[in-house]
Amino acid sequence: MKISPSLLHLYAVTDRQWLHGRTLESQVREVLEGGATILQLREKRLSDEDFLAEARAIQKTCQEFRVPLIINDNLAVAKAIGAGLHVGQSDAACRTAREALGPDAIIGVSCTNVEQAIQAQKDGADYLGVGAVFPTSTKHDADYVSDTELRAIGNAVDIPLVAIGGITLENATRLAGTGIAGVAVVSALFAADSPRDAAQKFAQLKY
């Protein structure tokens, strides 16, 4: 599926560790109200049954805002609700995901170098999540991707890139001119006092 780079401008990635008494659905609603253009639901500790139930609820909110929902690393859940899927290098193969979800599903792949990017494109990826572009607290084992490597990846493939890893309102502007379509943001949205206000500020940035 060919997707517009504008779809990746503000790629919100959920993380329930910052709920602080709020519900994930309410936080997602705030982020979407603020201008997130795509949402990835990431759950590392929920059972498949609970993940599926949560995904159905979040999907309704995404549909209300006409924002695509991407499921992180769970092909069964993505297929069950007809959502997109994001996989890493050690997750289900992109090719397998494409065969299971069909040509119209949005599929993204995490990568850190040109070789991985080229392979992901061959396997049917619609976009690439590239990073970590900055130090990140959400993934301690993440490989660092320099601006030079980020540009090289963009030049090597024909599908859009979204930068991820430690991105904040203060450092996001340093990514301008690197060729990315947008940024994937976790804590700078979901740990914010107002996810809505944070999303509004990110949505105004240009890359």
* Identified catalytic residue from 16, 139, 151, 201: 139
Amino acid at 104: D
Nearest-Å Rg of the Cα atoms of the chain is 16
Question: What is the DSSP code (8-state) at residue 172?
Answer: G
Beta pairing partners, 185: 12
206 assigned to active site: no
The token pair that represents 190 in the structure block: 């979901």
Q: Of the candidates 65, 122, 57, 112, which has an alpha carbon nearest to the alpha carbon of residue 88?
A: 112
Distance between CA atoms of residues 108 and 58, nearest Å? 19
4 assigned to active site: no
Beta pairing partners, 50: none
The token pair that represents 160 in the structure block: 């859009």
Instruction: Calculate the CA dihedral of residues 67, 68, 73, 79 and round it to 10 degrees.
Output: 130
174 assigned to active site: no
145 close to 130: Cβ distance less than 8 angstroms: yes
Distance between CA atoms of residues 72 and 90, nearest Å? 12
Residues classed as catalytic: 42, 110, 139
